[in-house]
Structure 1
Amino acid sequence: MASFRKHENGTWEYRVRYKDRSSQKHKEKSKRGFKTKKEAQLAAAKVEMDLDYYGFSEDGNEMVDKYFENWLEVYKKPHVKPITYSLQERNVRLNILPKWQGYKLKEIERTEYQRWINTLRETYTEGTVRRIHSIMNSAMNDAVHEFRIIKENPITRISVPKDNQDDKEVKFFTIHQLEHFLSKVKAPQKNAKYQHSIQYYVLFTLLARTGIRIGEALALTWDDIDLDGKKLNINKTLVYPTNSKPYLSTPKSKKSKRSIGLDDQTLQLLKKHRINRSEVYLRYMNYKKADTNIVFHQHEGRWLRTNVVREYFKEICKRINLPVLSPHALRHSHAVHLLEAGASLKYVSERLGHSSIKTTADTYLHVTQKVEDQALELYQQYTKMNL
């Protein structure tokens, strides 16, 4: 509610009391210097309207931590996937607020912000810093255009130092490395608790033969596999946040929802896995069936944990003296091997579920360049033969 007061010099002042949405505490905004009471009333009315609609003050004095608390809760949480919100909240809490929480929005200055970005690059990769900057930039844009707290965004067109080209190189196994890796996973592991299970061998083979993401693989149910039609239907992904319960989500993008052809070897291995699963239930009394018909699961019947799969993968790499990569390298390996075998860029892009062919071309630039060179060489040989 607004109140007004006339000062000795003849000017008027307004005071507006309101409840802050984040702290639920009563606060007050005031401004003086108006020539007439009517001017003060009009200004106060706009302040009350903006506070009622936005829940924020409009003069740039909003503290960064309070602003982000409201911004995440009101503008992000209801409108993005839970895993996206979790990543944004985590970046705000661990990276943005430690630097900026003591600042008012109007105190964020471009040069200091650029120095901060440069410092982040000493610790994080280019991609990680770009994600942090994207969150900060989006929040600042909303402060300008949605909440009208500040007049302009001081951090537009900030430069994020680029990675060295070597750092951006896609990690993958050669055909021979992949064969060596899978042969070792297939062999019974010494001291393994459930030696009769072929689950990890099937999982890693599936990743290597289809190029699907690990989350997509762990979310699979037997209903997603068309054994007669030799198709694998990707329509969901498993999200396993740190210190939180796992859940199923929609695929990464619209193109990620897709149907993938299965080669005969992989198809037969999946059939064998289904039989092996039943044998494992009978052989090990504490190995429980899953409540749902998921293809891969822990002995308690729950989804496999992505971090456990990654650690197991790395342990195999160390044991057999292969480059210590992550399961995502199997996806890259599949794409590289397809391109080297002569598959079209369009086919590989659709199989991987990339949002565009450009994503595929940019990711596997070194391979596509090799394919182009080979194609040009074939063309030259062809023209010579027909001259």
Structure 2
Amino acid sequence: MATFRKRNGKWEYRVSYTDRVSGTYKQKSKSGFLTKKEAQLAAAAAEKDINYFGFSEDGEEIVEKYFNEWAVTYKKPNVKPITYDLIERTIQKIILPRWGNYRLKEINRNEYKKWINDLREKYSEGTVRRIHSIVNTAINDAIFEYQIMKLNPVSKIKVPKEVDEVKTVKFFTVEELERFLEEVAKPVKNAKYTKSMQYTALFTLMARTGIRIGEALALTWSDIDLEKGRLQINKTLVYPRNTTPYISTPKSKRSIREIQLDAPTVKVLKRHRINRKEVVLLYENYKQSDTDLVFFQHDGRWLRTNVVREYFKKNCKRANLPDLSPHALRHSHAVHLLEAKADLAYVSKRLGHASIKMTGDTYTHITKKIEDDSLDLYQLYMK
């Protein structure tokens, strides 16, 4: 609704409205019009801007307002919560600090390209591609969905590729893994629950199956057939920052899989199942999980991923090993399989990778060594 008044010989309009993003009451005003008619026409144009899909037309909308509402309207209903959390954090922590106060039409292509180049100095190619994808998609939606822009100034911007950078995965050698697991099995001085073998079972399972930490922490005993030595992966535990953890579907369709367990892993899991019951009886404040979780905190809830990572790093230090993360167990399993001459397709399926190419690209240094070794064997055979 618009109101008008005359001040110092000039007309002013004031438009009142409710902001769709924040839900707060706001006003927009402008003065300096010679006649009331001019002020009315300007007010009508301003109201049209405000009501047109909730945004100003012709790229006049502020980037911060547009990106915040776009994320809630177009991304949140269509992606997994963990994906939306990543998008929202990227917008708040990286995109808006640089572009938030701009109008959409003020995003300059050259200025944007320089920003992308600067980001590559700090982040990996993949991370910068994700940042650019969010900006590019949001502006495309401003053009084709909201119809408040005509051109996309960041279209076809190229993210600098990795140049002379060798990406290597971090893993334990067979000897290092053995030392790591031996150290985990030792009682930790001043620990609360020294009789628990939970971390031995967890890290052994991850190291000998290659499952992800979220997949491991989501497991219930119904997912494991210890008699047949089979493990079903059909869910993952998600622990977003500052929000409630929840169970979600795995990373991709190929992540839903059945894994054969070897005899040592089955043995450890059988011991762990008995040990879980013993620990609940032994410690007064230790509770059994209501959902039959394989791994759980003393209060019966899911183990926290950050707690597992912290324990893992402390154990690395105790074992005098490189400071790695639990994901290194997944890499270790893959590398050990490949070194044992396992078929690449089998390794890819066991890890739940989206494609064999992804597996080959991830472990290039190992597959290259295998190729060289195979060629050497061929040459020896042909002599």
Match of 2:379 in 1: 380
- Can you give the 5+ residue segments of structure 1 that lack an aligned partner in the other structure? 3-15, 30-43
Residues 1:164 and 1:307: Cα distance change in structure 2 (over 3 Å): farther
8 Å CA contact 1:234, 1:256 repeated in 2: yes
The correspondence of residues 28-177 of structure 1 with structure 2, limited to 5 A, is 54-163=53-162, 168-177=167-176
Deviations 1:280-335 (A, max 9, x none): 11111111111110000111111000011101111111222211010000000100
Secondary structure of the residue that 1:324 maps to in structure 2?
coil
Deviations 1:33-58 (A, max 9, x none): xxxxxxxxxxx99x979956x43333
Letter in 2 for 1:239: V
Secondary structure of the residue that 2:265 maps to in structure 1?
helix
Match of 1:224 in 2: 223
Match of 1:247 in 2: 246
Alpha-carbon distance between aligned partners in 1 of 2:257 and 2:183, rounded to the nearest angstrom: 31
Match of 1:271 in 2: 270
Deviations 1:61-90 (A, max 9, x none): 111011111111110111111111111111
| Count of matched residue positions in the alignment of Structure 1 and Structure 2 | 358
Secondary structure of the residue that 2:122 maps to in structure 1?
coil
8 Å CA contact 1:339, 1:345 repeated in 2: yes
Residues 1:192 and 1:118: Cα distance change in structure 2 (over 3 Å): same
Deviating more after overlay: 274-283 vs 146-155: 146-155
Alpha-carbon distance between aligned partners in 2 of 1:88 and 1:63, rounded to the nearest angstrom: 19
Residues 1:314 and 1:165: Cα distance change in structure 2 (over 3 Å): farther
How much does 1:19 deviate? 6.3
Match of 1:214 in 2: 213
Deviations 1:334-385 (A, max 9, x none): 001111111111101111101111111110111111111112222222333x
Alpha-carbon distance between aligned partners in 2 of 1:229 and 1:55, rounded to the nearest angstrom: 59
Alpha-carbon distance between aligned partners in 1 of 2:292 and 2:314, rounded to the nearest angstrom: 28
Secondary structure of the residue that 1:193 maps to in structure 2?
coil
The correspondence of residues 181-192 of structure 1 with structure 2, limited to 5 A, is 181-192=180-191
Alpha-carbon distance between aligned partners in 2 of 1:228 and 1:50, rounded to the nearest angstrom: 65
8 Å CA contact 2:64, 2:101 repeated in 1: yes
8 Å CA contact 2:49, 2:55 repeated in 1: no
8 Å CA contact 2:183, 2:318 repeated in 1: no
Secondary structure of the residue that 1:238 maps to in structure 2?
strand
Residues 1:188 and 1:17: Cα distance change in structure 2 (over 3 Å): closer
TM-score by length of 2: 0.87
- What percentage of residue pairs aligned between the two structures are identical? 64
Match of 2:21 in 1: 22
Alpha-carbon distance between aligned partners in 2 of 1:166 and 1:157, rounded to the nearest angstrom: 24
8 Å CA contact 2:49, 2:56 repeated in 1: no
Match of 1:235 in 2: 234
Letter in 1 for 2:320: N
Alpha-carbon distance between aligned partners in 2 of 1:100 and 1:50, rounded to the nearest angstrom: 21
Alpha-carbon distance between aligned partners in 1 of 2:311 and 2:238, rounded to the nearest angstrom: 19
8 Å CA contact 2:337, 2:347 repeated in 1: yes
Match of 1:309 in 2: 308
How much does 1:186 deviate? 1.2
**Structure 1 residue 282 and structure 2 residue 297: aligned?**
no
Secondary structure of the residue that 1:291 maps to in structure 2?
coil
8 Å CA contact 1:20, 1:27 repeated in 2: no
**Structure 1 residue 322 and structure 2 residue 321: aligned?**
yes
Alpha-carbon distance between aligned partners in 2 of 1:106 and 1:234, rounded to the nearest angstrom: 47
8 Å CA contact 1:58, 1:147 repeated in 2: no
Alpha-carbon distance between aligned partners in 2 of 1:158 and 1:318, rounded to the nearest angstrom: 44
Secondary structure of the residue that 1:78 maps to in structure 2?
helix
Letter in 1 for 2:111: E
Letter in 2 for 1:354: H
Deviations 1:147-168 (A, max 9, x none): 2222222112333344565562
8 Å CA contact 1:219, 1:238 repeated in 2: yes
**Structure 1 residue 345 and structure 2 residue 344: aligned?**
yes
Q: CA RMSD in A?
A: 2.6
Letter in 2 for 1:331: R
Letter in 2 for 1:217: A
